[in-house]
Amino acid sequence: MADLEQRLKAGDVAAFESLFQQHQGLVYRTAYLITGDREEARDIMQEVFVSVWQARHTFDPAKGRFTTWLHRITVNRCSRRRRKKRIAFQSLEKEESKGGCPDDPQALPEEIMITREEYAGLMRALNSLDTKHRCVLVLRFFNELSYEEVAEAAGISLGTVKSRIHYALKTLRRQLAT
């Protein structure tokens, strides 16, 4: 992997394509879970990889893993689009009319889609959170980042990550219990 990252920094298009193939599902899933919108997630995924190519020289493996850098770009892109467009999260009913969960490469892991009802309940609860709380949950539990990596990817302090996760989980528990 380190070789691919070094080749990317040097402007190797084949290395970029390989990294894209390896990480497009991760970026899409993260964007989808943060925005709740398939089309928005696809657009964000494209923008993220354009940003990766344009900013490839800024990646420093000494400062962190490539995936953490990629998460940071994804989170920033999601936040920027939300602020810029002031989009409203798609309602669960609208998403269900499209067939439920996303159908893109490496979409949501099967383990969270045990049943359609559980999935619908989880998405409804996740959609009830604001972006900053949803973002930390997605990074921590769906992408399995450590608390430190979440802090780095989201650009916030470790204490803020912990408090947001605590609040978000408390809210999710309350939502799922009803």
82-108: per-residue pLDDT in tens? Answer: 766 543 434 433 444 444 444 444 445
Mean pLDDT for the chain overall: 82
pLDDT > 70: percent of the chain = 80
pLDDT band, residue 126 (cuts 50/70/90): confident
Cα 53 from Cα 49, distance rounded (Å): 6
Low-confidence winner among 42-46, 66-70, 103-107 (lowest mean pLDDT):
103-107
How high is the pLDDT of residue 89?
A: 38
Q: Who has greater pLDDT, 24 or 115?
A: 24
CB 134 within 8 A of CB 168: yes
Low-confidence winner among 12-26, 56-70, 79-93, 160-174 (lowest mean pLDDT):
79-93
**41-48 LR contacts (CB < 8 Å, sep 24+):** 41/102, 41/104, 42/104, 43/81, 44/74, 44/77, 44/78, 44/81, 47/77, 47/81, 48/73, 48/74, 48/77
Segment 9-21 mean pLDDT: 93
Q: Check whether 156 has a pLDDT greater than 90.
A: yes
pTM to 2 decimal places: 0.71
Low-confidence winner among 43-57, 102-116, 121-135 (lowest mean pLDDT):
102-116
Cα 80 from Cα 74, distance rounded (Å): 10
How high is the pLDDT of residue 113?
A: 46
Which domains occur in the chain, in start order?
2-177 (1.20.140.160)
How high is the pLDDT of residue 64?
A: 85
Segment 33-52 mean pLDDT: 92
